[in-house]
Structure 1
Amino acid sequence: MSRTSPTLFAFAALALSALPAFADARTEAYVQTNASEVLATLNDPALNAQQRTETFSMYMDKFADLDAVSNFAIGKYSRRFTEQELATYRKAFRTYALAVYESELDKYRGEEVVVKDSVDRSDTDSIVNTVIKRQDGKDMDVRWRVLTRNGEYQVVDVALNLDGNLIWLGIEQRAQFIALLDRANGSADALITKIESMTADLKASKRN
């Protein structure tokens, strides 16, 4: 997926250099363990394409708070959709988001995930910096934004370093979705149709 693709979740880079505190070791261990399991799914030669997607989706559902991401992506409209519209949108968004994560991470199938360092944005909000190591030397930097709620961790954002550019999987998507909704007078149907179209494009291009 190119950076100009409409399916790209391009997030603005966070000003991490201004954040001096370090995240605790448990947050780093959470990312280390779960990110490794997610990538192991993509690397497993025993799985066919359908099994790989199903297992990957299961791990990501536990690892990431996709409902929180979906609400963020539509901003004010999360309060304007009806309950039925919001439920249908969240279902479409989940399928799309998982397809995006799988597509991007699958391009950089690695041998292991190594935690480099981390920073705290607050007591409950941390960024964990990792690198996906590859035998061909084309390592990829990945950042994970982790929120702590009631003592439990969940990822609410992922950033990939693609061709030297830090791409967060959510802020530009928010801008794109809200712009579409603004043009369509807040039509949930118009947004869902667009999301389903982008998902179909991703699935058509995935590896077997």
Structure 2
Amino acid sequence: MKTFLRSTLAASFLLASALPVFADARTEAYVQTNASEVLKSLNNPKLTAAERTAAFSTYMDKFTNLDAVSNFVIGKYSRRFTEAELTRYRAAFRTYALAVYEYELDAYRGEAVVVKNSVDRSETDSIVNTVIKRQDGTDMDVRWRVQGKEGSYKVVDVALNLDGNLIWMAIEQRAQFIALLDTNNGSADALIRKIASMTSDLKSKTRS
């Protein structure tokens, strides 16, 4: 795990160092508005657990491009799966990804999302750096990778603070999923079973 984290952090550092440094107010505004809505769905005390999950999932479906993320995390295998396998895999991945984001972002409950700055990788690819302000003073850094043009922006990855390290979620999932596929002859069924097991384990966890 430590080796993986070091590799991920090194890759993130190289990515960041290669980025041109200039801000994009449109993607910043997009993240400001939508990230705030996502956090509100976790903060609403009037919602039951089921209602909160439903509201959170609705916002994340609008905010993120889960089909693009699902293709990214299996790399070359997105072109090797049959259409039927892709359909089943994407359904399993969507359920898992939403559960991961809800569980991890639940630790980031706060009063406000504040955009610090952003960096454009290209005309259609930006990293937006934010801070989630919390009442206890432990502000949390979150980075959002946004792709698309104005009117069609979507988040394709989120970097969260996990065990003291800022980790890109899709990059972490890609390493896990491709390793599993490589050792199972590219079996979509093996991956879907693993994803279902991971989803079940995650949903059984609760945060204090």
TM-score normalised to structure 2 length: 0.91
What is residue 38 of structure 1 aligned with on the other side? Answer: 38
Instruction: Tell me if structure 2 keeps the 8 A contact 1:13–1:166.
Output: no
What is the Cα deviation at residue 24 of structure 1?
A: 1.6
Trace 1:31-110 onto structure 2 (pairs within 5 A): 31-110=31-110
Q: Which amino acid aligns with 1:13?
A: S
Whole-Å separation in 1 of the counterparts to 2:20 and 2:180:
37
Q: Secondary structure at the match of 2:67?
A: helix
Q: Secondary structure at the match of 1:206?
A: coil
Whole-Å separation in 1 of the counterparts to 2:162 and 2:74:
25
Q: Which amino acid aligns with 1:36?
A: S
Aligned length: 201
What is residue 160 of structure 2 aligned with on the other side? Answer: 160
Q: Secondary structure at the match of 2:85?
A: helix
What is residue 5 of structure 2 aligned with on the other side? Answer: none
Q: Secondary structure at the match of 2:157?
A: strand
Q: Which amino acid aligns with 1:91?
A: A
Whole-Å separation in 2 of the counterparts to 1:58 and 1:66:
12
What is the Cα deviation at residue 19 of structure 1?
A: 2.3
Q: Secondary structure at the match of 1:135?
A: coil
Larger relative helix fraction? 2
Q: Which amino acid aligns with 2:30?
A: Y
Whole-Å separation in 2 of the counterparts to 1:185 and 1:115:
43
**Matched residues, percent identical?**
76
Whole-Å separation in 1 of the counterparts to 2:62 and 2:45:
23
Whole-Å separation in 2 of the counterparts to 1:165 and 1:179:
22
Deviates more, 1:58-67 or 1:165-174: 165-174
The answer as to 2:29 corresponding to 1:13 is no
Whole-Å separation in 1 of the counterparts to 2:129 and 2:68:
21
Unpaired segments ≥5 residues, structure 1: 5-9
Q: Deviations over 1:60-95 (max 9, x none)?
A: 000000000000010111011111100000000000
Trace 1:144-155 onto structure 2 (pairs within 5 A): 144-149=144-149, 151-155=151-155
TM-score normalised to structure 1 length: 0.91
TM-align CA RMSD? 1.8
Whole-Å separation in 2 of the counterparts to 1:63 and 1:13:
22
Instruction: Tell me if structure 2 keeps the 8 A contact 1:23–1:127.
Output: no
